[in-house]
A = this chain, B = another copy of it.
Amino acid sequence: SAKATSATYSKGLDTYKVSMRLHAENRSKLVKQMSDAPKNGVCLFLGGETSHRYETDMEHPFRQESTFLYLFGVHEANCLAAIDLADGASTLFIPRLPEEYAVWMGEIYPPSHFVTKYEVDFCRFVDEIPEWMASRQPETIYVVEGINSDSGSNSKPAAFDGIAKYNVDRSRLYYDVAECRVRKTKAEVDLMRWVNSISSKAHMEVMRKVRVGMMEYQLESEFMHQCYTHGGMRFLAYTCICGCGVTGATLHYPDNDKQIADGAMCLLDMGAEYHGYASDITCSFPASGKFSQDQKDVYNTVLEAQRAVEAAMKPGVSWPAMHRLSERVLLEGLANRGILQGSIDEMVAANLAYYFMPHGLGHMLGLDVHDVGGYVKGDKRSTEPGLNRLRTNRVLEEGMVLTVEPGLYFIKPLLAKLYADPAVARFATPRLRDFENFGGVRLEDNVVVTATGIELLTKVPRTIEEIEAVMAQQWTPA
């Protein structure tokens, strides 16, 4: 139903106003994606549920389940929703709240409030689903059931009293939604561009404030504060990784509890989300504000890999090919700088890059940081080292949003393996030993694939000159 004006979601001040048309368009995409299904079908979705710390009454701030947010934009907990395939009509089902809710949690709104707020076609109570479904008598009820290709875990499908009386299809809806989520609409890209700009600015503010002697978690705290204060972003897209010094070589380092030493290379992988849409940005820089020669050599090698990939990305290019490209540029960069030696082709044949970048080049980004749809249903991960780590094996298409995140890490157990295996140890120069406590460098951009190439969503300093200039601003005497 076209409307002259549209309801929006925003966190006030100058934060982004998300039009509810974004979600109407997402629902239309899904109905089209399922156009081969019998028309008398209903898709039923389960929203996220409130959660607590263990058995206590400490309730966590509520973050909506991503597919539910994608289709309906709803931020309330304990809802379900349906899409009628016959006409695309959307019905939100809200919980019937106890009278006490108004005293403890906030105003209780009637269903009509949510029709206006979210521009769904209808709103009923959750306890009315059995009756609602009986009046529809759908040939099939489709529910979201599938295995997340990053976690290996199952999604929790919608259910209601009496669902067993219906023909329930648990096989396709998860994958149909994933296909839709893989290609972003203009409205989604516009939103993600803003999310990226807020996280980018927060990264720059952290760069200005970092000092030798600080704790890693103080950088995490500054980042979260910047994103929440300036972007209304209560949630991060993932837990901050603040590896400064040797901890930078732990790929998903979760602790952030070490003190930052002089000479440390900081690797900060941090991104906030807004209305569920994620950013995922990594900056690397020296705590001192000035790159040493070792730091320059590793950093510029990674930057060369990132730029080579970003220059080559466009529709029709396969992601595994981009991964292999980044590996080759990384190996060339290390060889050019005397950290590795020998034939690049032989290094590639020996999968040498895997010892220095044992993760994939990047992944789909959207409402989940490792967004759904990396693999088409039935596709399996490659078994080749390097490619086996890729979170997607897709060929690029316009509208896909991905991270480009090459990195170089000096990971003690992997270096030990390298030195123990003559087939790869022969590529090491004596200089490689100098990097044992270096940590790592990762440069992670978020990009959207356009008709002819990419648009870079991330706006952070990337060259050594840019980084040193940003960090130096703070050093001007007050």
A residues with a Cβ closer than 8 A to B are 11-13, 48, 52-63, 65-66, 99, 102-106, 148, 150-151, 153-156, 215, 217-218, 220-222, 224-225, 228-229, 232, 234, 237-239, 247, 250-255, 257-259, 358, 368-370, 411-414
Contacts and interface: CB of A to CB of B under 8 A. Distances in A.
Nearest to A367: B56
Nearest to A106: B250
A151 to B, nearest CB: 4
A126 to B, nearest CB: 19
A411 to B, nearest CB: 6
A137 to B, nearest CB: 30
B58 A369 contact: yes
A55 B153 contact: yes
Nearest to A255: B106
Contacts of A155: 54-55
A148 B370 contact: no
B57 A105 contact: no
Contacts of A413: 99, 102-103
B56 A368 contact: yes
A414 B103 contact: yes
19 contacts: A52-B153, A53-B63, A55-B151, A56-B148, A56-B151, A56-B153, A57-B151, A59-B239, A59-B254, A62-B254, A103-B358, A105-B250, A105-B253, A106-B247, A215-B232, A220-B228, A221-B224, A224-B228, A225-B225
Nearest to A149: B57
A224 B66 CA distance: 26
A150 B57 contact: yes
Contacts of A12: 215, 257-259
A150 B54 CA distance: 13
Given A103-B413, A221-B225, A368 B239 contact: no
Contacts of A148: 55-57
Given A13-B259, A54-B66, A222-B225, 20 more contacts: A12-B258, A52-B151, A53-B63, A54-B65, A54-B155, A55-B153, A56-B368, A57-B150, A57-B151, A59-B254, A99-B413, A103-B413, A106-B250, A106-B253, A215-B232, A217-B232, A218-B228, A224-B225, A224-B228, A225-B225
A106 B224 CA distance: 23
A411 B104 CA distance: 10
Contact of A13 (B215, B238, B252, B369): B215
Contacts of A237: 58
Nearest to A239: B61
Contact of A254 (B11, B61, B153, B225): B61
Contacts of A252: 104-105
Contacts of A412: 102
A106 to B, nearest CB: 5
Contact of A224 (B11, B65, B224, B411): B224
A410 to B, nearest CB: 12
A294 to B, nearest CB: 22
Interface centre among A56, A65, A106, A252 (most CB of B within 10 A): A56
B221 A229 contact: yes
Contacts of A224: 221, 224-225, 228
Contacts of A154: 55
A257 B228 CA distance: 11
Contacts of A62: 254
Contacts of A150: 56-57
Nearest to A391: B57
Contacts of A225: 221-222, 224-225
Nearest to A234: B217
A104 B255 CA distance: 12
Contacts of A65: 54
